[in-house]
Chain A
Amino acid sequence: MVTRRPDRERIVITGVGLTAPNGDSLCEFRENLLAGRSGVTQYETRYFGSTVAGVCSFDELRYQRRKEVRRGTRAGSVGIYCSHEAIADSGLDWENTDRSTVGVYVGVTEHGNVETENEIYQLKGYEYDTQFWSHHHNPRTVANNPAGEITLNLGVTGPHYTLGAACAAGNAGVIQGVQMLRLEECDIALAGGVSESIHTFGIFASFASQGALARNEDPTKASRPFDRDRNGIVVAEGGCMFVLERLSDAKARNAKTYGEIVGYAMNSDADDFVNPNPHRQAQCIRLALKRARLNPEDIDIVSTHATSTTTGDVQESQALRQIWGDNGHTLLNNTKSFIGHAMGAAGVLELAGNLPTFSDSVCHPTINLDHVDPECDLPGLVANEPREIKKADTILNNSFGMLGINSVVIVKRT
């Protein structure tokens, strides 16, 4: 007999707040995922010039004053917006919540590049005389800045920090929230990830030098995971924060729940700086399944990581084939095809976009799949059009990153 955890150790998602290049709420995001609407647009960046990117248009002033936006970072603004939205969505009585019991765990791929580039660019105008270097540099670039700004804005006095986990950071933020609730380090976790990465030219230039930056006449077609004609990553900004609570607390206040986090895993490739290792990815997936006490065929949807690079998509396909083989029951989709790669926010945004499947029984597709690469032709890949799904109980979310970091989160319908 399988021993179930007590409700106090079962962690559920009770609120979702997000901003994506194609939506500033879960509702809008989901609508565009089902309608096949991309959020990728033409974009100009310092030094690098014309490119494409996923740009968000949430209202920065909804939860911040102009002075706060000026003082802080874009990543902070994204995190603040998403956290407020998630709290409102959760139905928590925030006014009467003991803020010392709230923990803030925010995944980031990178932080500090935007501010540093801006400051160096400005300093050039003063002939690199460092007496013109901003006193705001340090508080803006410390790695905890995105999480710290959330605590400042919301008056949270519980623990806060960011998790640097490359493109697995969104999943890592959620995993940290789950663990901290189980350890009773907090009673409410604001957990997720953010990205301000489109505001640094360096990330575009580096991907381009690596031969991994997408180019397309039509920005909406530039991010094309698994497609034969894919040519690289679309960089995106964005954010998604969950309110996570213990099931016992959610039940006590009659909260609506999006799903329960029933399993997760992280591991490392220990192989290459940039190229992924499919065997380690498969090991990570198996570990998450084992912890969730699930078999591969129990998974209804796999939200793939695939970033539209020539190598990475193939490696992930090999890992997925190792687990799911020719099982056509488990469906696979991809969110980066719609919004590009939202870096620290990617994992959690991609998971969030799939959660409504539990109630509407539709699996959103991966778009821009005009000619599937034979090496990525997986049974169950939902191409271009959404698909109705009879059984919608479990979603498995992959996120893999540079330096061989792998993460998997499994959510079950409540």
Chain B
Amino acid sequence: MTGADIREAIVDILSDIAPDEDLGDLKPDIAFRDQLDLDSMDFLDIVMELRKRYRIQIPEEDYPRLASMDSTVQYLEPLMKEIQKA
């Protein structure tokens, strides 16, 4: 999956987790928490959905890397480059 594919996958996951939010305006370099109403359980949802949909395991010490869209894509690119887009 390319960076753009990963971005799309994350938006898809966020639209399930935060269905009331308008994700069209999401700023890629600003923390998700500063733009959307997300708490720690929501972040665990992101980790769980990545595990369920793409079999990606994210160690707990790497959770801070998922702070913003840019940082998330940067983190996931090497992990997901061999994965086919769903």
In the complex, what residues of B have CB within 8 A of residue A132's CB?
48, 51-52
Assembly CA distance A126 to B37 (angstroms): 30
In the complex, what residues of B have CB within 8 A of residue A126's CB?
52
- Closest-CB distance, A71 to chain B (whole angstroms): 7
State whether the Cβ of A135 lies closer than 8 Å to any Cβ in chain B. yes
One digit per residue, 1 when the CB lies within 8 angstroms of any chain A CB and 0 when it does not, for chain B 33-67 equals 00001000100110010011000000000000000
Total A residues in contact with B, Cβ cutoff 8 Å: 11
Instruction: List CB contacts (< 8 Å) of B9-26 with chain A.
Output: 16-20
State whether the Cβ of A65 lies closer than 8 Å to any Cβ in chain B. yes
In the complex, what residues of A have CB within 8 A of residue B18's CB?
67
In the complex, what residues of A have CB within 8 A of residue B52's CB?
126, 132
In the complex, what residues of A have CB within 8 A of residue B20's CB?
65-67
Assembly CA distance A71 to B19 (angstroms): 11
B57 nearest in chain A by CB position: A131
In the complex, what residues of A have CB within 8 A of residue B19's CB?
66-67, 70
Q: Interface residue tally of chain B, by bracket?
A: 10 to 19
In the complex, the answer to whether B48 meets A134 with C-beta atoms within 8 Å is yes
**Interface majority SS on B: helix, strand, loop or mixed?**
helix
In the complex, what residues of B have CB within 8 A of residue A136's CB?
41
Residue among A67, A70, A71 with most chain B CB within 10 A: A67
In the complex, what residues of A have CB within 8 A of residue B17's CB?
67, 70
In the complex, the answer to whether A135 meets B41 with C-beta atoms within 8 Å is yes
B47 nearest in chain A by CB position: A135
In the complex, the answer to whether B51 meets A135 with C-beta atoms within 8 Å is no
- Closest-CB distance, A138 to chain B (whole angstroms): 11
In the complex, what residues of A have CB within 8 A of residue B48's CB?
132, 134-135
- Closest-CB distance, B37 to chain A (whole angstroms): 7
Assembly CA distance A70 to B41 (angstroms): 12
In the complex, what residues of B have CB within 8 A of residue A135's CB?
41, 44-45, 48
Assembly CA distance A135 to B20 (angstroms): 21
Assembly CA distance A135 to B39 (angstroms): 13
- Closest-CB distance, B22 to chain A (whole angstroms): 13
Assembly CA distance A405 to B37 (angstroms): 44
- Closest-CB distance, A126 to chain B (whole angstroms): 7
In the complex, what residues of B have CB within 8 A of residue A131's CB?
51
A133 nearest in chain B by CB position: B48
In the complex, what residues of B have CB within 8 A of residue A134's CB?
48
* Residue ranges of B at the interface with A (Cβ–Cβ < 8 Å): 16-20, 37, 41, 44-45, 48, 51-52
Q: Could you write out 23 A-B pairs with CB less than 8 Å apart?
A: A65-B20, A66-B19, A66-B20, A67-B17, A67-B18, A67-B19, A67-B20, A67-B37, A70-B16, A70-B17, A70-B19, A71-B41, A126-B52, A131-B51, A132-B48, A132-B51, A132-B52, A134-B48, A135-B41, A135-B44, A135-B45, A135-B48, A136-B41
